[in-house]
Structure 1
Amino acid sequence: GTFLVRSGVLTSVHAFAADPTRGFFVLVFLLLVVGSSLLLFAIRAQSLNSESNYDLFSREVFLLVNNIILICATGVVLVGTLSPILFDVLELGKISVGEPFFNTTFAPVTLVLMVFTAIGPLVNWKRHRFALLRATMLQALIVSVSAAAISLWLFDAGWNWLVFVTLLLCVWVVWHTLAEMWKKVRTAKAGVIAGFRRLSLSYRGMVIAHIGLAITVTGVAMTANYDIERDVRMQAGDEVDIGPYHFIFEGVKEVEGPNYMATRGIVSVTKGGSDVAVLTPEKRRYYVRRDVMTEAAIDAGFSRDLYVALGEPLDDGSWAVRIYFKPFMRWVWGGGVVMALGGFVAMSDRRYRIKVKQKVTGAASGVIGGNAA
């Protein structure tokens, strides 16, 4: 991905570096990093033999399946990104791969991933009996269906089966993760707090990361299916309803910045008669380059983001205004932050540092012993 967007192979708003030499540098850098890793793996391949035996229904298999699903998700993105280029190179015509392709292919892969992510931590290493999980899974299913249905009813934006199933699986992941952690904590003889402290950092990191995944998937599902975008013509005093919000265009005024002049629009936002925000999008004209830049106004909230961008003035004195309502957009990025936090917590587990230290000490002892001999 770094090579594609930095070398100019892709035509995208993110592919701003179309310098072939820079693409070559990125390619060489990736070759050195990835190539050295694969070379080290090849050199030590014979010493990595494993004689472990495990049943089909075991944690090892669930981890393997999760990795395969993640590879499939990566492949979907890669195919969707490179297909237009390959069709053009092979002279098969020009195609455009957009949102419908990714919604059709990536969404099912993600939903399957959520199922295995929830069940994996519940299964024992080596082997496990499915019958032992029936009661737990049935309880989680009842809670997940109820929570997903109530969430859609509270959001009041219409029924959507894909969103319902996605929310169901997100609650499924969170419920299974927290229920398993509670099961481990409550069995501690010294109490719940002491039991939580006894949990390894790697386990805590796993819990945090799984919750972060559920948060991100929830945000993506809600944003992709319930976002609203409207291009409207507005004069001072005009009003428009978008989603549950009422937008009032108060007019425009000229303002001066440190190195620019700007035409600033004033848009009041209300919901149910209560004031929500006053958004001030701008069209800026910079003194030096004479560039005209559009600065969108954003009101970020816990469960929605509101965007207003000021377009061009029209002949009758009105303005072209673009308004976005994006529910749960912050959850997409917030979930990523939570997953990263979970990764850092897991990496800080002292057991991993001890294992590495033991390996290094053992290797050093072997070298010293060999030299002495």
Structure 2
Amino acid sequence: MVTDVLPELGFYALILALGMAVLQTVVPLWGAWQRRPLWMAFAQPMAWGQCTFLVLSLACLATGFYVNDFSVDYIAANSNSALPWYYRLSAVWGSHEGSMLLWSLLLSFWGLAVSLFSRRLPRDLLARVLGIMGAIGSGFLLFILVTSNPFTRTLPVVPAEGADLNPLLQDPGLIVHPPMLYMGYVGFSVAFAFAMAALLGGRLDAAWTRWARPWTTVAWSFLTLGIALGSWWAYYELGWGGWWFWDPVENASLMPWLVGTALMHSLAATEKRGTFKSWTVLLAIFSFSLSLLGTFLVRSGVLTSVHSFANDPDRGVFILVLLGLTVGLALLVFALRAPQVKSRITFGWLSRDTFLLINNIVLLVMAVTVLLGTLYPLLLSSLGLGKISVGPPYFNALFVPLATLLCIAMGLGPLSRWKQMSRRTLVKRSAFSALAALVLSVALPLWLDRHWTPLVSLGLLLALWVALASLREVAGSLLRFGLRGPRKLSRSHYGMVLGHLGLAVTITGITLVSSYHVSDNVRLNVGQQVMVGGYRFTMTSLGDREGPNYTATRATLQVTRDNRLINIMHPEKRFYHARRQALTETALDAGLFRDVYVAMGEQLDNGDWALRIQIKPFVRWIWLGGVIMALGGGLAVWDRRYRRQLRKEQL
């Protein structure tokens, strides 16, 4: 059969992809140094070839999963013939080897996109950008071939059945969350490559930021969506009902997001005013370095987490060496080149430049806070100094004041002008937004018929301040020019407004669900009922059902409020046969303003079942805000001025 040779074909495609990645690195960079146009022209076809062979390799692996080729060790360890076909395909990236192949493929997609949409770049700059991306791809492909080959055979003994995919991953979230998250992770490699190319070419001016800024924004949007999807997935899949656990692997994605957010704002200042040139390059290095650090944490085996791929520590050493080489060489180039760049642009204390700088510093401090809280326990353990756990109290205690300062600067930024403005003008511009936010932050909890607390008002005050301050320019254009006014603002401006509004929505969701959620652990049997948060839960039946690769005990709960039927809910306790593992399947009655959440626990001695019931107001606003932020990034990328700049640039 043709499928019998697909593993070897996929492996050979990986080798060819590595060869093209090496050529994409060496030849264009040498050509740019020697100013040889023909050598520089190698970059684009090699990027296309690398992407083509990686697509072929992933297709071979996916086909093996689809046809249950258990002669491949990776497929036998992560699939089963009873597994639904869509989970068999998403199992391609359900564990370490396949996820690294997906990582490399998405990295090649970014290289392909740069080669297609940046043809008007100066030839030497494009050659350097693609050469650096080829070097990154070479490192990861070498890592896969040496330590993480997904095509290793189990021959001569082929298991009759696979071990099955981890039940926690048998969910639609696996289909969309990893690709989105990885697109964001590896997308920061483009900003990194542009920064390094600008340094190597001695062209560290505002021009490179015009090219790097849209790529950075797209990568940030993907990462935002990936983090939001991961939070939502953990919320309903793990049965705890929380939206963020400060898990080290969650922190691994948060750190590059924080620094990437700072990078986006710094790129805007560098492009507009020519300020923060060296700082912007440094942020580009840090954002991609933290993406690599996240890869090390997840795949080195140093972490124990429901999210991590616990593997051979030797793989972690390889990634650590790759991280050290990337960061070390990048910082060396920066140290040699950056001192030549001197910015003569000045600005006053009351200016948009200043507030953007504050924004950058606070975001970087937040990232360092997460980094220390994540790595400090690992460092102590590795040195034999004991084991400690750094959890939510540490992060929450530090994040609340930092987030407060960040939101203040975010609100003042859109209200201020570049370079300098008077205190009186700034006060006049911000007075209405500040006063309206203050009044509404006190009135809204009372209007929602909730108890008032200072933390609730603080969270709502910050959210409303960011939202109203961002909307002021749009409202002002409406008042001045009528319906024609909004057309005078650019798409990037509306992207900024949407991004800030999305953050405000997320802060509102975090504030309200943290302060007003109701949770209770109860025990129920058929015919019994309980009241939780004003809702009456009645267990009307209990039975068994067969799934494709599991059996489940399924409860039927009638949910009423004020004698009105709200919903019929069906929480389950599933048992997956191949893995011999039990898992809770949460029942949700989801809404824009509240979720009713029921997770089924264990059966108790007298036949009752333990249930965890939660009422979570405004929890969906957390992820809605993430979607709005990502849409804002997408809108900003389609700004007309980027297309005009592309047309103006000449080879």
Q: Which residue of 2 aligns with 1:286?
A: 576
Q: What is the distance in 2 between the residues matched to 1:21 and 1:116?
A: 44
Give how far 1:124 is off.
0.7
Q: Which residue of 2 aligns with 1:304?
A: 594
1:252–1:266 contact (8 Å) kept in structure 2: yes
Normalized per residue, which structure has more strand? 1
Q: Which residue of 2 aligns with 1:138?
A: 431
Report the AA paired with residue 588 of structure 2. Answer: I
Q: What is the distance in 1 between the residues matched to 2:527 and 2:449?
A: 28
Gaps spanning 5+ residues in structure 1: where? 365-373
- 1:315-339 CA-partner distances (Å, limit 9, x unpaired): 2111111122222221111111111
Report the AA paired with residue 293 of structure 1. Answer: L
Give yes or no for the alignment of 1:228 onto 2:518.
yes
Give how far 1:86 is off.
2.8
Alpha carbons of structure 1 residues 6 and 241: separation in structure 2 relative to 1, 3 Å: farther
| Structure 1 counterpart of 2:637, from 326, 347, 350 | 347
| Structure 2 counterpart of 1:334, from 604, 624, 633 | 624
Q: What is the distance in 2 between the residues matched to 1:76 and 1:169?
A: 21
2:302–2:310 contact (8 Å) kept in structure 1: no
Normalized per residue, which structure has more helix? 2
Alpha carbons of structure 1 residues 198 and 138: separation in structure 2 relative to 1, 3 Å: closer
- 1:93-128 CA-partner distances (Å, limit 9, x unpaired): 432222222221111111111111011111111101
Q: Which residue of 1 aligns with 2:303?
A: 10
The secondary structure found in structure 1 opposite 2:389 is: coil
Q: Which residue of 2 aligns with 1:371?
A: none
Q: Which residue of 2 aligns with 1:125?
A: 418
Q: What is the distance in 1 between the residues matched to 2:469 and 2:319?
A: 42
| Structure 2 counterpart of 1:204, from 486, 489, 494 | 494
Q: What is the distance in 1 between the residues matched to 2:464 and 2:446?
A: 16
- 1:149-175 CA-partner distances (Å, limit 9, x unpaired): 222113333222112111011111111
Q: What is the distance in 2 between the residues matched to 1:141 and 1:56?
A: 20
- 1:55-114 CA-partner distances (Å, limit 9, x unpaired): 111110100100111111112212222232233344444322222222211111111111
Q: Which residue of 1 aligns with 2:400?
A: 107
Alpha carbons of structure 1 residues 229 and 174: separation in structure 2 relative to 1, 3 Å: same
2:415–2:429 contact (8 Å) kept in structure 1: no
What pairs with 1:1-373 in structure 2 (closer than 5 Å)? 1=252, 2=294, 3-24=296-317, 26-27=319-320, 30=323, 45=338, 48-188=341-481, 191-192=482-483, 194-355=484-645, 358=648, 360-361=649-650, 364=651
Give how far 1:217 is off.
1.2
1:7–1:23 contact (8 Å) kept in structure 2: yes
Give how far 1:145 is off.
2.1
Q: Which residue of 1 aligns with 2:276?
A: none
Alpha carbons of structure 1 residues 249 and 341: separation in structure 2 relative to 1, 3 Å: same
Alpha carbons of structure 1 residues 93 and 290: separation in structure 2 relative to 1, 3 Å: closer
Alpha carbons of structure 1 residues 151 and 273: separation in structure 2 relative to 1, 3 Å: farther
Coordinate RMSD, CA, aligned: 2.4
Q: What is the distance in 2 between the residues matched to 1:82 and 1:313?
A: 39
Give how far 1:240 is off.
2.4
Alpha carbons of structure 1 residues 174 and 267: separation in structure 2 relative to 1, 3 Å: same
Alpha carbons of structure 1 residues 186 and 49: separation in structure 2 relative to 1, 3 Å: farther
2:304–2:310 contact (8 Å) kept in structure 1: no
Report the AA paired with residue 320 of structure 1. Answer: A
Using the size of structure 1 for normalisation, the TM-score is 0.87
Alpha carbons of structure 1 residues 150 and 271: separation in structure 2 relative to 1, 3 Å: farther
Q: What is the distance in 2 between the residues matched to 1:342 and 1:184?
A: 19
- 1:207-261 CA-partner distances (Å, limit 9, x unpaired): 1100001011111222223333322121223322322332222231122223332
The secondary structure found in structure 2 opposite 1:187 is: helix
Give how far 1:357 is off.
5.1
Report the AA paired with residue 371 of structure 2. Answer: L
Using the size of structure 2 for normalisation, the TM-score is 0.52
The secondary structure found in structure 2 opposite 1:206 is: helix
Give how far 1:34 is off.
5.5
1:7–1:15 contact (8 Å) kept in structure 2: no
Gaps spanning 5+ residues in structure 2: where? 1-251, 253-293
Report the AA paired with residue 609 of structure 2. Answer: W
Q: What is the distance in 2 between the residues matched to 1:154 and 1:19?
A: 55
Give how far 1:197 is off.
1.6
Report the AA paired with residue 57 of structure 1. Answer: L
- 1:133-154 CA-partner distances (Å, limit 9, x unpaired): 3234332232112222222113
- Tell me whether 346-355 or 116-125 shows the greater mean CA deviation: 346-355
Alpha carbons of structure 1 residues 203 and 16: separation in structure 2 relative to 1, 3 Å: same
Q: Which residue of 1 aligns with 2:288?
A: none
